[in-house]
Amino acid sequence: MNVRQVEVKTAQKWLENDEAILIDVREPAEHASQKIKGSALHPLGSISSNDISQVKKKILIHCQKGTRGNNACQKLIAENQALDVYNIEGGIEAWQQAGFPVESSGKKFLPLDRQVQLTIGVSVLTFALLGFFVNPAFAFGAAFFGAGLTIAGLTGWCGLAKLMAKMPWNQ
């Protein structure tokens, strides 16, 4: 399924000219920490075409870097092909790099993808060290996380990211 991509400069013009609406598909804590003015929050895990089926403008989707936005666009298009949906290339990071303003709460927040990377890295290191110093059977723990990374890389689906998105600090 082809998702239409839009550069941040074009997206900003569409928003400025009231030709589009902006939807943030990041998690609530990410949105609360930093957001593009006027963006509506519809997290990837709960976004539905029913939420936006009456919109007659272009629908711009953004996340942190573009991946979740792309997934949200695929989901929306699968549910309703009549929607005029675009993924903002590079997400809010590209928006900021282009010099466009964002509203910030001042709270520091570790993005979900980095939380997942940190969790996997610490877990693999811990299991590897336990396997080396305590019992070789602990190596299976490291293999478990390696298998999870492989599945995430092949399918684009990461169970740990889904689980961590539901954690209280990400709400």
Domain boundaries defined on the chain: 5-104, 112-170
Strand 40-41, strand 85-88: pairing: unpaired
Q: Is 63 a catalytic residue?
A: yes
Predicted confidence at residue 15, as pLDDT, reads 98
- Pair 90, 24: CB distance under 8 Å: no
**Is residue 106 scored above 80 in pLDDT?**
no
As to burial, measured by CB atoms within 10 angstroms (0-12 exposed, 13-18 middle, 19+ buried), residue 113 is middle
**Is residue 39 scored above 70 in pLDDT?**
yes
Better pLDDT: 32 or 124: 124
| Average pLDDT estimate for 73-102 | 97
| Average pLDDT estimate for 54-71 | 95
**Is residue 9 scored above 90 in pLDDT?**
yes
| Average pLDDT estimate for 18-22 | 98
Which listed residue (6, 21, 63, 142) is catalytic? 63
Mean pLDDT check: name the lowest of 17-31, 73-87, 156-170: 156-170
CB atoms within 10 A of CB 61: 31
| Average pLDDT estimate for 139-157 | 94
Task: Please report which confidence band the pLDDT of residue 1 belongs to, taking 50, 70 and 90 as the band edges.
Answer: low
Q: Which of 161, 22, 145 is nearest to 95 (CA)?
A: 22
Task: Please report which confidence band the pLDDT of residue 105 belongs to, taking 50, 70 and 90 as the band edges.
Answer: confident
| Average pLDDT estimate for 87-93 | 98
For domain 5-104, the question of CATH label 1.20.140.10 is answered with no
